[in-house]
A and B are shown apart, each in its own frame.
Chain A
C-alpha cells in the first residue's frame, strides 16, 4: 500500500499556502506601487528631512509624548531651527490635516495600525 494520495493532497495544501502572495496579488489585482499621499499644500518642509521622517516619525512622536507627559516640555526645535509645539494633533495634523489620505493611507499599505487615535482626535473627526 502507498499513501501517495494523501501525501499529494498535503503537498497541494502546502504549495497553495507557500505561493499565496502570488495568487492573492493576482486575485486582489494588487499594484506594487505605494499609495499616493495628500501632502500639505501650503508647506514645503516637514519637521525633519523626508527620509528621516518617513522612517522614524513614530520614534519622534514617542519622544515628544514622553517629554510632554513626563517632563512638561513642549518646545521642539527642528535641526534647521524652526520651532514647533510637541503635539500630535496640533502640530503633525495641522500641516497634515487629512489624516485619512495621509497617515492612514500609508499605514494601511504597511499594515500598521497605530492605537493613538483611540484617545487622540483627528481634525476630520471634529468636523
Chain B
C-alpha cells in the first residue's frame, strides 16, 4: 500500500511531464522554471535545516564507543573505534562517510527451531548501499558535463573511468548499471522481506521510485530512444549561465527525466535523504571521547553557588578552634 502511494506519485509526475513536453509554454515551465525552483528549494532547504541543527548545543561527548577508551599508557586503546583526538574523529568520520563502516557491522538475527536465536553477518545491505551511493556520486559528477563549458578535467576523468570498460557505442557507464541494480535491490529488499515491508513507509519508497525512474529514463535516452544531447547541453548551459533558453528538439522522455530529478531535489530537504548532511552531524560519531581528559560544561546549567572548604573554614574558624578541630589555617 505504502509502495503503491509512492509509485502513483511518480507515475503522476511522469504523466505531467509527458503532457507538458508537447507545448512550448509548458515545456518552458518544465525545462526552466521547475529546475530553478527545485534548485532553490534544495539549497535553501538544506541550509535552513542544517542551521537549525547547528543551533543545538553540544554539552557532552556522547560517541558510541566500540572499543577501548584511551586511558593509561599501558592499556591498549582503539583510536578508530573510540577516538580521543580530532584526527581520530576525522578518520572515523571518513570511514563512516566513505565506507559506511557501521553498516559493515550489520548483523542479522534469526530464530531457529530449538528455539535458538542466531546472529549472523549480513553484508548485503552494506554492499547495496556502497554500490548505490558511489554510483550516485559518479552519476552526479558525470552530469556536470552538461552544466560546465568547457568540461573541466575532473568531470572528463570521471567520464573516462566510468566508461573504461568501453562496452557499447555510446559506452555503457558502470555507474548507470550500478545505480539501477543497487536501487532495485534496495527496493526489492523492502518489498520482499515481511519485516521490512512492515516498517516501510511511503517516504521510504518514494526516493527509491524517483531514483529508479531517473536512472531508467536516463539509460533509455542514452542507449535506446536517443536524443539530441547538444540541445540538452544548451538547455543546461542556459541554466548555468543564467541566460535560460529552451532549444528545439528535446523529446518528452527528457522532460520526464528532468521533472523527476527536480522533484527529488526539491523533496530532499524534507525527507530522510537529509542524511546527506545529517551523517556529518551524528553526535555518536563525530565527537572525540575525551570526557575524562577535558571538562565539558553544560551551557544551560544555572549558575551554582558553591561554598568551598576554604570559605567554610573562614566562616567557622573560631568555633572550630574552640571545639579542637584540626584547621588548615590557624587563626591570627
Q: How far is the CB of B236 from chain A (nearest CB, A)?
A: 8
- A18–B145 Cα distance when bound, in Å, is 14
Given A14-B46, A19-B43, A109-B233: A31 touches B149 (CB 8 Å cut-off) = yes
List the A side residues contacting B51 at CB < 8 Å. 11
Given A51-B228, A51-B249, A111-B156: A28 touches B149 (CB 8 Å cut-off) = yes
**B230 interface neighbour in A11, A15, A19, A54, Cβ under 8 Å:** A54
Is B308 part of the contact surface with A, judged by Cβ < 8 Å?
no
Q: Which chain B residues numbered 54 to 72 have a C-beta less than 8 Å away from chain A?
A: 54-59
Residue of A with least CB distance to B248: A51
Q: How far is the CB of A49 from chain B (nearest CB, A)?
A: 12
Given A30-B240, A108-B151: A55 touches B54 (CB 8 Å cut-off) = no
List the A side residues contacting B169 at CB < 8 Å. 58-59, 61-62, 65, 114
- A55–B170 Cα distance when bound, in Å, is 11
Is B174 part of the contact surface with A, judged by Cβ < 8 Å?
no
Q: Which chain B residues numbered 225 to 246 have a C-beta less than 8 Å away from chain A?
A: 226-231, 233-234, 237-243, 245
Residue of A with least CB distance to B43: A18
Interface size on B, residues (CB 8 A): 53
CB of A109 within 8 A of CB of B149, answer yes
Is B76 part of the contact surface with A, judged by Cβ < 8 Å?
no
Given A3-B54, A19-B43, A21-B147: A32 touches B230 (CB 8 Å cut-off) = no
- A114–B169 Cα distance when bound, in Å, is 9
Q: Which chain A residues numbered 13 to 35 have a C-beta less than 8 Å away from chain B?
A: 14-15, 18-22, 24-26, 28, 30-34
- A22–B169 Cα distance when bound, in Å, is 31
Is A7 part of the contact surface with B, judged by Cβ < 8 Å?
yes
Interface size on A, residues (CB 8 A): 42
Given A25-B237, A25-B240, A113-B160: A30 touches B150 (CB 8 Å cut-off) = yes
- A8–B231 Cα distance when bound, in Å, is 38
- A108–B54 Cα distance when bound, in Å, is 43
Q: Which chain A residues numbered 66 to 96 have a C-beta less than 8 Å away from chain B?
A: none
Is A1 part of the contact surface with B, judged by Cβ < 8 Å?
yes
Q: How far is the CB of A110 from chain B (nearest CB, A)?
A: 5
List the B side residues contacting A21 at CB < 8 Å. 144, 147-148, 239-240
Q: Which chain B residues numbered 200 to 215 have a C-beta less than 8 Å away from chain A?
A: none
Q: How far is the CB of A119 from chain B (nearest CB, A)?
A: 12
**B159 interface neighbour in A7, A18, A108, A111, Cβ under 8 Å:** A111
CB of A32 within 8 A of CB of B155, answer no
Residue of B with least CB distance to A5: B54
List the A side residues contacting B57 at CB < 8 Å. 1-2
Q: How far is the CB of B291 from chain A (nearest CB, A)?
A: 13
List the B side residues contacting A3 at CB < 8 Å. 54, 58
CB of B230 within 8 A of CB of A110, answer yes
Binary A-proximity of B36-63 (CB < 8 A = 1, otherwise 0): 0000001100110011011111110000
List the B side residues contacting A19 at CB < 8 Å. 43
Given A1-B59, A115-B166: A32 touches B150 (CB 8 Å cut-off) = no
List the A side residues contacting B42 at CB < 8 Å. 18
Minimum-distance CB pairs A-B, first 3: A111-B145, A21-B147, A62-B169
Further 18 A-B residue pairs, CB within 8 A, beyond A32-B149, A32-B241, A55-B228:
A1-B59, A7-B53, A8-B54, A11-B50, A24-B147, A26-B241, A28-B150, A30-B148, A30-B241, A33-B234, A54-B228, A55-B226, A59-B226, A108-B150, A110-B145, A111-B145, A111-B156, A113-B156
14 A–B contacts from the bound complex (CB under 8 Å): A2-B54, A4-B54, A11-B47, A25-B241, A30-B148, A31-B241, A32-B238, A32-B241, A55-B229, A58-B170, A108-B150, A111-B159, A113-B160, A114-B169
A-side interface residues toward B, CB under 8 Å? 1-4, 7-8, 10-11, 14-15, 18-22, 24-26, 28, 30-34, 51, 54-56, 58-59, 61-62, 65, 106, 108-115
